[in-house]
Structure 1
Amino acid sequence: MSCWIVIPIKEPAACKTRLAPVLDEAGRRELVAGMLRRTFAAASEAGGKVLLLGPSRHGLPGEVPLLADAGLGLNPALEGAKRVALLERVDRLVLLSADLPLVTAQDVAALAALPPDVLGAAPDRAGLGTNALSLPLPAAADFRFHYGEGSFAAHRQEAERHSLPFLPIVRPGLQFDIDEAADLTASAHPG
């Protein structure tokens, strides 16, 4: 079975702008690069082919595959990555947020190792957002992405619309993301 783990990432200047009140641009770039390195390392250790989706590798080595992003937003970019994965006959496409400071290889492996017909999604701590998706291909070829407010419920409904079994993947390393200033404090004292 072939598995791609795709990590979407914005251009450096556009990352984590909501943290501007507490981190200057250099601090935000350093934070983003550190979380991306950790997420990339966890994904690499879990197995499968790891690719970035976006305009920049954020300092990761040049041999890291970089999928193009036309700059039309996250949902269209993910649709493009899914199309490429389908063309390459990938069996499972795991989409993993780059802002997961506690993610482990075991977390990523849990997403990659789902049964062939099951769609998995990892909610954020509030249970509202989606921090990771695991799509069985080609069964989820027509799955539409709904990142944004209430994405977890929307992704569950989309799975139901396609009659795909839906499995929530609830793991601390996948739940904890950095979006707001309070998340920085919480990341310093997890648990």
Structure 2
Amino acid sequence: MSNKAVLIPIKDFESAKVRLSTVLDSNARADLAKELATLVVSACLETPVFIACEDDAVESWARNLGAEILRNPSEGLNEAVDFGFRSLSERGFESVLITHGDLVYPSGILSLFEMEEIVIVPDSELDGTNVLILPTNIDFEFSYGPGSYKRHLKSATMLKAEVLVISDSPFSFDIDDPDDLHHVL
């Protein structure tokens, strides 16, 4: 997998998971975000893992796990992913798996690299995008946020590339709102 890399954008843990504030205090949310991100990074360490971040504590945590850092000079998820994707392309990686740090069941995620197509794993509601695998020789517009799955699928098909959508997968489960917490309780 030497020509493949994993990119995980992570904002600071203290401001993560705000949508859970009705059921978890800020310390519990930070702990949960860090615990989930640790699971995701650990599941990916057989290939180079890069964390796009702008936070010193996240950088220290990631380095301790064996990940490399891509210091993101801009704010926003789409900008961080675009910056990281371009940086990995410039470093010679041919394929990048982009995922979030809040997957509940990340074990085996690297097996998705076996697919030849662009891979999109939507979240369990078929709304967001939990995993994207892209070749670095394409110009892809990242569009994370509500409804990103459909936008990413449209962008991929407009490239006239083969696209494999894997829904109803363990990688579809993330923690975004209180209803998702049953996966970790």
- Contact 1:75–1:147 (8 Å) recurs in 2: yes
1:120 maps to what in 2?
119
Unaligned runs of 5+ in 1: none
Aligned to 2:8: 7
Q: Deviations over 1:66-101 (max 9, x none)?
A: 111224211111110111111111110100110012
CA distance in 1, matches of 2:24, 2:119: 33
Aligned equivalents of 1:152, 1:110: Cα separation in 2: 21
Counterpart contact for 1:2–1:48, Cα < 8 Å: no
Deviation at 1:126, TM superposition (A): 0.9
What's the TM-score, normalizing by structure 2? 0.90
Counterparts of 1:17-96 in structure 2, within 5 Å, are 17-44=18-45, 47-55=46-54, 56-57=58-59, 59-62=61-64, 63-96=66-99
Range with bigger deviation, 150-159 or 50-59 = 50-59
CA distance in 1, matches of 2:169, 2:106: 8
Unaligned runs of 5+ in 2: none
Query: Residues 37 and 186 of structure 1: is their aligned pair in 2 closer, same or farther, counting only changes over 3 Å?
Result: closer
SS state of the match for residue 72, structure 2? Answer: coil
- Equivalent-residue separation in structure 1 for 2:119 and 2:63 (angstroms): 29
Q: Distance in 1 between matches of 2:132 and 2:173?
A: 15
Letter matched to residue 149 of structure 1: P
Q: Write the distance in 2 (CA, Å) between the matches of 1:58 and 1:25.
A: 20
**1:9 deviation in Å?**
0.6
Task: Measure, in 2, the Cα distance between the counterparts of 1:60 and 1:86.
Answer: 21
Letter in 2 for 1:125: S
Q: Deviations over 1:108-129 (max 9, x none)?
A: 12322221xx211101001111
How many Å apart are 1:151 and its aligned residue?
0.8
Structure 2 counterpart of 1:169: 166
**8 A contact 1:13–1:25 mirrored in 2:** yes
Higher mean C-alpha deviation, range 171-180 or range 90-99: 171-180
Letter in 1 for 2:21: A
Check whether the contact 2:129–2:144 (CA below 8 A) recurs between aligned residues.
yes
Q: Structure 1 residue 162: deviation in Å?
A: 1.1
- The one-letter code sitting in structure 2 at the alignment partner of 1:75 is N
- The CA distance in 1 between the partners of 2:136 and 2:182, in whole Å, is 38
* Aligned residues of 2:104 and 2:183 also touching (Cα < 8 A): no
What is the rounded CA distance, in whole Å, between the counterparts of 1:59 and 1:77 in structure 2? 18
Q: Which residue of 1 aligns with 2:104?
A: 101
TM-aligned CA deviation for residue 58 of structure 1: 6.6
Q: Secondary structure at the match of 1:84?
A: helix
How many Å apart are 1:171 and its aligned residue? 5.0
| Aligned-residue identity in percent | 27
